[in-house]
Amino acid sequence: MPALLISEEILSQFADIVYKASGIIFKDSNMAVLISRISSKIKEKNSQVETYLSQLKTDKNELTSFIDFVTTNFTSFFRNQRHFELLEETVLPQLIKDRASSRQIKIWSAGCSTGEETYTIAITVKEFFERNNIDLTTWNIQIFGSDISLESLFIAKEARYPDRSVQKIPQNYIDKYFTPLEGGKFYIVNDVIKKMVKFDYHNLIYGSIITSVDVTFCRNVLIYFDEDIQKKVLSQILLATNDNGFLFIGHSESLVGLFEQFKPVSFEKGIIYVKQ
């Protein structure tokens, strides 16, 4: 069904359903995304706008499927590579020093989508340990990925990606940590990296799945929330984070004037927020 046939009143009801289920807000700047998702679902089901809206209000399984579809975002391996350079060159050396006695480091990829960011973190950690001649097996490194989309989490756990997804990965990493399938049309993450990572369902507005986190990546997630939900999500991350823990957010996002409990610290390659 053409998107232009969706009235403002009906569109507002769809937006309200998504907001209540996920905290994600749709307004003029991104309403076209919601319209596109609704139109695709209606075409897929050969339904009508009002009929599908009613289904979302009564069918929990369909609501879950719709939220999955609406909230799945673009991601890639080594997206905004400077963040991973900061992780390797600045954050991990500090944590190795600070955690010398416990030998435990927890990293959380919050809003991990289909897992590319989470696996990139694992590769970065493994490379750091190798380059610094530190035995990884003597440390308890916990890397968690969480998302609200069950479909995205299934892809993340499967760790099988089309060739276009690995284009930003250095060739030596592809050779070392991936196995090509179907003549290079797909690549699967090798077990040595997969075993470093755990994935789980989690809605960021409802508490945290882990505690005592040292580093959180929550990049290009806050932009989908209104200010109230942003503060709620950041409060949950704050509670889950160790003192002096680190937070990475998207390059177009900022906490200045929004949430002062994480202080921005500038480095040559970017900004990291630190829990005070």
Residues 216-246 have pLDDT tens digits of: 999 988 888 889 999 999 999 999 999 999 9
Nearest to 149 by CA among 205, 111, 108: 111
In the sheet that 186-189 helps form, which strands lie side by side, from edge to edge? 160-162, 186-189, 178-181
Residue 136 DSSP code: G
Tell me what percent of the residues of the chain surpass a pLDDT of 70: 97
Long-range contacts: 51-54, Cβ < 8 Å, 24+? 53/10, 53/13, 53/14, 53/17
pLDDT single digits (tens) 1-28: 444 468 888 999 999 998 888 888 887 7
The larger pLDDT score, comparing residue 75 to residue 153, is at 153
pLDDT single digits (tens) 83-130: 999 999 999 999 999 999 999 999 999 999 999 999 999 999 999 999
Specify the pLDDT at position 1.
Answer: 41
Asked if 253 contacts 222 with a C-beta cutoff of 8 angstroms, the reply is: yes
Record the tokens describing residue 130, joined without a space.
Answer: 């190798």
DSSP H helices in 107-162: 116-131, 150-158
Q: Helices 60-71 and 31-45 meet at what angle, rounded to 10? A: 130
Mean pLDDT, to the nearest integer, of 132-144?
Answer: 97
Report the mean per-residue pLDDT for the chain: 91
Using 50, 70 and 90 to split pLDDT, how confident is the model at 72? low
- In order of their start, the domains of the chain are 3-71 (1.10.155.10), 81-275 (3.40.50.150)
Nearest to 155 by CA among 124, 183, 188, 123: 188
- Answer whether residue 208 shows pLDDT above 80: no
Using 50, 70 and 90 to split pLDDT, how confident is the model at 73? low
Q: Where are the beta strands (DSSP E) in the chain?
A: 104-110, 140-147, 160-162, 178-181, 186-189, 197-201, 213-218, 241-249, 262-267, 270-275
Which three-class secondary structure state does DSSP give residue 22? Answer: helix
Taking residue 172's Cβ as centre, other Cβ atoms within 10 Å add up to 9
Give the separation between CA 221 and CA 206, rounded to whole angstroms.
15
Nearest to 185 by CA among 162, 156, 159, 155: 162
- Could you give the maximum distance between any two Cα atoms of the chain, in Å? 63
Record the tokens describing residue 214, joined without a space.
Answer: 């040292």
